[in-house]
Amino acid sequence: MERYFPMRKLPARAGYKQGDVFVLVGELFGRGYANGIVDEARRAGMTILGTTVGRRDSDGTLRPLNAEELAEAEANLGGKIINIPLEAGFDMEPAADGQSFADILKGVKPDAWEGFVLDQGRLDEVRAKGEARFRGNMEKVVAELKTMIPQGASVLFSHAMAGGIPRARLFMPLLNKVFKGSGDKYLSSELFWNSGLGQLCSASFFDVSADTFKYLIEATAPLRQSNNVRYTAYGYHGCEVLISGRYVWQSYTPYMQGWAKIRLEDHAIAARSEGIIATVYNCPEIQTNSSALFMGVELSLYPLLNSLVDEGGGPVAREFITECESLLNDGVTIADLLAAAERYLAAPLLKQFDKLAEWPHHSTKEQMELMLTASAELIAMNKSPKEIVCAPLSRAVFSTTGYLMFHDSWAPEKPVAWLNHDIIARQLNS
Chain position whose Cβ is nearest to ligand NAD: 32
Selected binder of ligand NAD within 20, 27, 40, 311 (CB under 6 A): 27
Instruction: Return the residues of window 193-222 that contact ligand NAD according to CB under 6 A.
Output: 208
Q: Determine if 81 is a binding residue for ligand NAD (CB under 6 A).
A: no
Nearer residue to ligand NAD within complex by CB, 208 or 305: 208
Q: How far is the CB of 238 from ligand NAD (least distance, A)?
A: 10
Q: How far is the CB of 86 from ligand NAD (least distance, A)?
A: 6
Contacts of 309 (CB under 8 A, 6+ apart): 317, 321
Per CB under 6 A, which region of 25-33, 65-73, 105-113, 344-352 contacts ligand NAD? 25-33
Selected binder of ligand NAD within 32, 198, 296, 360 (CB under 6 A): 32
Contacts of 86 (CB under 8 A, 6+ apart): 25, 26, 51, 52, 53, 54, 134, 137, 138, 141, 161, 212
> Would you give the DSSP letter of residue 279?
E
Contacts of 7 (CB under 8 A, 6+ apart): 404, 408, 417, 418, 419, 420, 423
Rounded Cα distance, 265 and 259, in Å: 10
Q: How far is the CB of 62 from ligand NAD (least distance, A)?
A: 10
Selected binder of ligand NAD within 193, 206, 236, 403 (CB under 6 A): 236
Q: What is the pattern of x (binds ligand NAD, CB under 6 A) and - over residues 48-77?
A: -----x------------------------
Q: Determine if 38 is a binding residue for ligand NAD (CB under 6 A).
A: no
Q: Is residue 226 classed exposed, middle or buried when 0-12, 13-18 and 19+ CB atoms within 10 A define those classes?
A: middle
Other beta carbons within 10 angstroms of residue 333's beta carbon come to: 11
Q: Determine if 160 is a binding residue for ligand NAD (CB under 6 A).
A: yes
CB 54 within 8 A of CB 86: yes
Q: Determine if 399 is a binding residue for ligand NAD (CB under 6 A).
A: no
Q: How far is the CB of 19 from ligand NAD (least distance, A)?
A: 26
Contacts of 295 (CB under 8 A, 6+ apart): 179, 180, 371, 372, 375
Q: What is the pattern of x (binds ligand NAD, CB under 6 A) and - over residues 271-310?
A: ------------x-xx-xxxx-----x-------------
What size, in residues, is the chain?
430
CB 396 within 8 A of CB 283: no
Instruction: Return the residues of window 161-180 that contact ligand NAD according to CB under 6 A.
Output: 161-164
Whether residue 254 is preceded by a cis peptide bond, meaning omega within 30 degrees of 0, is yes
Q: How far is the CB of 398 from ligand NAD (least distance, A)?
A: 7
The helix/strand/coil state of 112 is helix
Nearer residue to ligand NAD within complex by CB, 153 or 165: 165
Nearest to 305 by CA among 418, 394, 381, 401: 394
Q: How far is the CB of 150 from ligand NAD (least distance, A)?
A: 26
Q: How far is the CB of 143 from ligand NAD (least distance, A)?
A: 19
CA 156 and chain centroid, separation = 18
Nearer residue to ligand NAD within complex by CB, 153 or 240: 240
Q: For residue 231, what is the enclosing H or E element?
A: strand 228-235
Instruction: Return the residues of window 86-105 that contact ligand NAD according to CB under 6 A.
Output: 86-89
With CB under 6 A, what is the number of residues at the site for ligand NAD? 26
Q: Which residues bind ligand NAD (CB under 6 A)?
A: 26-27, 29, 32-33, 53, 86-89, 160-164, 208, 234, 236, 283, 285-286, 288-291, 297
